[in-house]
Amino acid sequence: MIKMDPNWMEAEERNIDTLYESIRSDPYILDKADEIPFVDTPLHEAASVGQTRLAIEIRNLKPSLGRKLNPDGLSPLHLALLNGHFETVKGLIKLDRDLIRVKGREWLTPLHYAAETNDRINILAEFLLACPESIEDLNARDETALHIAVKTCSEIAVGVLMGCIRKTAGKHRFTVINTQDGRGNTVLHAAVSTSQPQVSIPLVRSGRPRDLHL
């Protein structure tokens, strides 16, 4: 892991000054972080503790760090989300909405993580507003965010995702609803197998999933 000053995370104003002091001492410090295949970069560190202004500053200086994965297979946006630093999340996606589609370990995007629990509803809505096409992204199990929301019984998250599908005027509707995971299951299969009629009924009304063998 590349470190700057040991105290660089203590206060945000001072951290930004420390960032530039580090760059003055070593102009290639961010480039060095970018050259390592999997590493906790300064942007990972700032995002993981919710240092929003510092994270934005680093990302502006070195945009490629926004897509960098650390040894755990997580990007800075993944870390900000998983640690509950939602203001940092919003700041990063304002700079680059496609960070929502960065695939980490097991091809999980930040949208997949946002959909797995009702506790991240506001950020899930922010993601879909910023990048509605991300709803089609698949993880390593060929699951969309809607698959995950249904399988984890995150009913509110399902509602937000279905709302996005409706608002796109059918553009993503049949693609997402009909998508089969690695076991050949659509989201309707998942809803039925987990006994969620409050989910399966709206799914049936929203389209005609193909090849259903219930």
2: confidence class by pLDDT, cuts 50, 70, 90: very low
Q: Which of 56, 140, 54 is nearest to 95 (CA)?
A: 56
pLDDT at 200: 63
pLDDT in tens, 28-61: 999 999 999 999 999 999 999 999 999 999 999 9
The share of the chain scoring above pLDDT 90, in percent, equals: 64
Where do we find the tokens 């934005």? 56
CB contact at 8 A, 15 and 45: no
pLDDT at 173: 58
pLDDT at 213: 39
Task: Give the side-chain half-sphere CA count within 13 A for 193.
Answer: 13
In whole angstroms, give the CA distance from residue 74 to residue 40: 9
Q: Which CATH superfamily is domain 1-95 in?
A: Ankyrin repeat-containing domain (1.25.40.20)
Q: Same fold for the domain at 1-95 and the one at 116-214?
A: yes
Q: Is the model more confident about 185 or about 108?
A: 108
**Is 50 exceeded by the pLDDT of residue 212?**
no
Q: Which of 212, 95, 210, 207 is nearest to 162 (CA)?
A: 207
**Is 50 exceeded by the pLDDT of residue 1?**
no
Q: Domain residue spans in the chain?
A: 1-95, 116-214
CB contact at 8 A, 15 and 8: yes
**Is 80 exceeded by the pLDDT of residue 108?**
yes
**Mean of the pLDDT values across residues 105-126?**
96
Q: Is the model more confident about 171 or about 160?
A: 160
pLDDT at 210: 46
pTM: 0.85
pLDDT in tens, 167-211: 875 555 567 888 888 888 888 877 777 777 676 666 666 655 444
Q: Which CATH superfamily is domain 116-214 in?
A: Ankyrin repeat-containing domain (1.25.40.20)
pLDDT at 197: 65
